[in-house]
Amino acid sequence: MFARWGDLVHRFRFLVVALLGAALLALGAYGADLKEHLSSSGLDDPTSESAKAAQLADAAYGREHGSDVIVMYTFPAGVNLDDPARSTKIVENLNRLPEQYPDQIAKVNGAFWPTKTGQSNPSFFGKPDKNRAFASIAIRGNTDTEMVNNYRKVKGVFAVPGLADLGVDVQVAGLQPVAGTLNDTLDDDLHRMEILALPAVAVLLFFIFGGLVAAALPLLMGGLTILGANGIVRTITEFTEVNSFVSSVVTLIGLGLAIDYGLFIVSRFREELAEGYDTRTAVRRTVMTAGRTVVFSAAMIIASLGGMLLFPQGFLRSMAYGSIATVTLAALTAITVLPAILSILGPRVDMLGITRFRKTKTAEEVEEGFWGRSTRWVMKYPMRIAVPICILLLLLIIPIKNIAFGGFSETYLPPDNETRHAQQEFDETFPLRKSDPVQLVFRTENTAAIGAILKQANQAPGLASAIKGKPGEFTVPTPAPAPNTAGIYRSEATLVEGQNPNLTIDYLRSIDIPDDVTMLVGGQPAIQKDSIDGLLGRIPFMVAVVLLLTTLLMFLTFGSLVLPIKAALMSALGLGSTLGILTWIFVDGHGAGLLNFTPQPISAPVLVLIIAIIYGLSTDYEVFLLSRMVEARAKGATTTEAIRIGTAHTGRIITAAALILLVVTGAFAFSDLVMMQYVAYGMIAALFIDATILRMLLVPAVMKLLGDDSWWAPAWMKRLHERVGMNEPILADEHPATLNMADLVETTPITDPVTVKLPIIAAEQANR
């Protein structure tokens, strides 16, 4: 199949480049405004009780806009909050905002001072003893996407001209400023990648290939992949909300994988040219081998990333949609556009280069090079290599015992970020006005029962009170205003700072409720708890499904049951070590000052994303390594020689691919957003462990210990593989000069196999 595909791409090379190139560019043009259609939502579990409480409350009371934007004013010490010289400027500014920006700002909900559209409640909106007051401003929009976009258009209008000269400090906090700052930080990450990572990758590719033309091809595939993926994600936003974090994931995975795939394809093509094949044959052989491996690598990565679709959270589904589209396009361009361009270029792929760097070694030179020699050394002492490495990786896993899970908040921003500082100052000054109270939503006609339930609810641990020493209580239930929502009531309470909200929520959900009353526990603390519980409950199912799919795909690819099991164990070691490193850094706090973040629990959705990405990348490198081993085995090499040949031919390429992905990921490691740092440093650790410790040391050592058992599978599975599997191609020697030569692979337990070419006797040829 892949041989025919390679011939087809070569035959219609100009048409392939024109049609697919135009299609990807068109998708890129359509997705140019992607960021305007992305949302900051999707972290909650829509099937949970808290989500149902939010849906019922929003339908009955309308969307809550009280915490959209909080503008806090800090007066100089000794100056009254009613000082006319200062308060007049503030009120004029607040009254002017809805008038000047009617499409973005709905109204001023309320403030310490009377305004045209908002209530004045000095005791609610002010703390005279702390010289602070605040105003609540509603942003227009019925969805998170609309509200974030509207806020970003007016984010600079809340400062009051001349007020700073009078000693008043103005700080902007609230849900939309936090969400907007997070989105702006993601945009900064993408810009940093463009100006730092891309030039560095271009330089690396030049030295890897030794020529501008060859170096430009993987970069071109990366650019086309990202453009196409953005267009696909933009299309998805028409049907469902997509989290803004997807843009960084698409760029990171798209650029990294597309360049890696391009690196493998171009390297194999140049290797075939170096063996003396013409362009058409080199393209066909490249697609048969490297192209086939790219397709199965992408299939296994998609299986890993597809595990995120098992979760109901919109955040994870967004990541799955974006990353699957990206991987698919990366593989598609690698087996269509790139071979077509190589067909057009032929030997000119080495143009504009330096002879010293662009010389491509023959197969024999590669196998006798550094990676071949180092693999021979590893297999000489397999037990001495495998045992210490396994112990080291197990030690790196130990910090996982301290792993903790949390939600998403302003603490994901750096400690010195203005928006984070403003939100924390507001929460400290007005603890009972925080935007994340726990809520009780009732549906009943029995109002007396609500009173009895609230008496029990007020006994819940961790409720905050405005009066020191007095236990906190829920507010008086508010009936829904609309006639068609009669019988719906809502009450809320603020939790004590630092108190474990799970204790409060568990207590509230343990209260006995009469049959004629429906009570749903909601609010941000409950949403966060339900999301974490739902994720942790589904992770084992995700792991089982992904392992089953990748094992099946790897068996169909290689025909061995041992290799997929070995690959899963290797990936588990690498993933566990990576999570241990992340826990040691981000939960235990080592390096927090250097990296400018606050140690805190890891966001559960981000953890699932990291597991999916890292397991997929680990499988990716495993597939490329094993494919070359199986190819050598299919041509008659012993297990020992197959290991050496496969490692020798992929060692340099895997190292180069990992280095390139490290550079791309490194740009995101400087992010101000700690969740992006999770992903970046997780990938950096995983890439280093996978490309060096696992693939180049542990895999050869373990396979040497397994010997011929590496290729074992039950007889019925072997028959199944012969019937439906994708056997590794055995490449015949297609040189015109060697059509009358035979490849005899001589193997002995002592010496390496030596390929000897002997003339074919006419009689033998006739017998064939």
Place of tokens 């805190």: 600
Element (H, E) at 104: none
pLDDT at 399 over 50: yes
pLDDT at 749 over 50: no
Q: 744 and 713: one domain? A: no
Which band of pLDDT confidence, cut at 50, 70 and 90, is reported for residue 482? low
Q: 463 lies in a domain?
A: no
pLDDT digits (tens, 9 = 90+) for 407-418: 777 788 888 888
| Predicted pLDDT of residue 324 | 92
Q: What is the mean pLDDT of residues 197-204?
A: 83
| Predicted pLDDT of residue 231 | 92
Name the H helices within 398-497: 418-429, 447-457
Give the distance between the most distant pair of CA atoms in the chain.
Answer: 112
| Predicted pLDDT of residue 759 | 38
Contact (Cβ atoms closer than 8 angstroms) between residue 460 and residue 508: yes
Q: 377 and 348: one domain? A: yes
| Lowest-confidence pick of 104-108, 644-648, 654-658 | 654-658
| Predicted pLDDT of residue 738 | 43
Q: For 591, how many CA atoms within 13 A lie in the half-sphere containing its CB?
A: 11
Q: 262 and 382: one domain? A: yes
Contact (Cβ atoms closer than 8 angstroms) between residue 484 and residue 474: no
Q: 147 and 196: one domain? A: no
Q: 480 lies in a domain?
A: no
CATH code, domain carrying 662 = 1.20.1640.10
DSSP state of 353: B
If we measure between CA atoms, which residue out of 298, 222, 212, 311 comes closest to residue 258?
Answer: 222
| Predicted pLDDT of residue 597 | 83
Q: 598 and 631: one domain? A: yes
Q: 696 lies in a domain?
A: yes
| Predicted pLDDT of residue 737 | 46
Which band of pLDDT confidence, cut at 50, 70 and 90, is reported for residue 754? very low
Higher pLDDT, 50 or 362: 50
Q: 637 lies in a domain?
A: yes
| Predicted pLDDT of residue 356 | 55
**Residues 6+ positions from 224 with CB-CB distance below 8 Å:** 21, 24, 25, 28, 258, 329, 333, 337
Q: 632 lies in a domain?
A: yes
If we measure between CA atoms, which residue out of 24, 118, 573 comes closest to residue 334?
Answer: 24
Q: What percent of the chain has pLDDT over 90?
A: 14
Q: 220 and 347: one domain? A: yes
Q: 13 and 149: one domain? A: no
Place of tokens 């690698």: 334
Q: 538 and 684: one domain? A: yes
Positive/negative CA dihedral, 525, 528, 532, 535: positive
DSSP state of 495: B
List the domain range (segments joined by +) for residue 353. Answer: 2-41+180-409+529-721
Q: 431 lies in a domain?
A: no
DSSP state of 586: I
pLDDT at 235 over 50: yes
If we measure between CA atoms, which residue out of 711, 662, 696, 725 comes closest to residue 292?
Answer: 725
Residue 524's alpha-carbon distances to 408, 435, 501, 505, 712, in angstroms, are: 10, 8, 10, 11, 52
Q: What percent of the chain has pLDDT over 70?
A: 90
pLDDT at 477 over 90: no
pLDDT at 745 over 50: no
Q: 157 lies in a domain?
A: yes
Which band of pLDDT confidence, cut at 50, 70 and 90, is reported for residue 740? very low
pLDDT at 755 over 50: no
| Predicted pLDDT of residue 360 | 57
- The residue from 157, 173, 189 where one domain ends is 173
As a residue count, the chain comes to 768
| Predicted pLDDT of residue 765 | 41
- Rounded distance, CA 360 to CA 363, Å? 9
pLDDT digits (tens, 9 = 90+) for 503-532: 899 999 999 898 888 999 988 888 888 888
Q: pLDDT averaged over the chain?
A: 82
- Rounded distance, CA 24 to CA 30, Å? 10
Q: 254 and 124: one domain? A: no
**What is the pTM assigned to this prediction?**
0.81
pLDDT at 495 over 90: no
Q: 316 and 369: one domain? A: yes
Q: What is the mean pLDDT of residues 155-177?
A: 88
| Predicted pLDDT of residue 718 | 81
- The residue from 145, 173, 201 where one domain ends is 173
Q: 506 lies in a domain?
A: no
CATH code, domain carrying 162 = 3.30.70
- The residue from 116, 148, 173 where one domain ends is 173
pLDDT digits (tens, 9 = 90+) for 659-701: 888 888 888 888 888 878 888 888 888 888 887 888 788 888 9
| Predicted pLDDT of residue 82 | 87
Domain count, the chain: 3
Which band of pLDDT confidence, cut at 50, 70 and 90, is reported for residue 355? low
pLDDT digits (tens, 9 = 90+) for 262-301: 888 888 888 888 878 888 888 888 888 888 888 888 888 8
pLDDT at 125 over 50: yes
DSSP state of 493: E
Q: 254 and 317: one domain? A: yes
Q: 140 and 16: one domain? A: no
Task: Provide the 10 A C-beta neighbour count for residue 350.
Answer: 21
**Residues 6+ positions from 299 with CB-CB distance below 8 Å:** 553
Give the 3-state DSSP-derived string for 10-59, with helices as H, strands as E and coil as C: HHCHHHHHHHHHHHHHHHHHHHHHHHHHCECCCCCCCCCHHHHHHHHHHH
If 0-12 CB within 10 Å is exposed, 13-18 middle and 19+ buried, where does residue 406 land? middle
